[in-house]
Every structure is written in C-alpha cells, then in structure tokens.
Amino acid sequence: PPIAARRSGIIDQIDATRIVVRATEETDATKPGVDIYRMMKFQRSNQSTCINQRPLVAPGDIVTKGCVQQTLVWNHWIS
C-alpha cells in the first residue's frame, strides 16, 4: 500500500527501508520534528509473490500532507 505524508516537510534521509521527513508544520512539544516511514523490502505476499517498495522522492524534496512518497514497484514470483 502507498505511504502518504502525515505532515508537510522536507525529505531528510532515504535508504532501502525508510524515508525520514523533517516536518515544517508547526509542532507542539508532544510531537517529534521528524516522521519516519518504513518500506517493505522483498516481503512474501499471500499469493506467492514478493512485495518490494521503492521511494518516489529524493532527499531535499518538499512534500505536503497527503503526498504519496513511495509505491509498489514489482511483484516477483517465488518458487
């Protein structure tokens, strides 16, 4: 399933398993200044396929609340 940004911000870091967004919205003391989104890497699905997610954004990109940050790239048959 696609991951949408919970808050507006700037993409701080990306690696194979996560996207880190530095929030630019006003935050109160109870919320951290970054949001971390985890991606599925080669997870087996219930239909004998492999799920792999890759980011659609790059470091430094500006995202808005609700912006889709990653997508399902391929399904690979597992035998």
Q: 18: domain CATH number? A: 2.40.50.100
Alpha-carbon distance of 77 to 50, in angstroms, equals: 6
Identify the domain containing residue 24 by its residue range: 3-77
- Tally the residues of the chain: 79
- For residue range 19-53, what is the model confidence (pLDDT) as tens digits? 899 988 776 777 788 999 888 888 887 777 787 88
Side-chain-side CA neighbours of residue 72 (13 Å)? 10
Looking at the predicted structure, is the pLDDT value of residue 77 above 70? Answer: no
Which range among 10-14, 16-20, 74-78 shows the weakest confidence by mean pLDDT? 74-78
Number of domains comprising the chain: 1
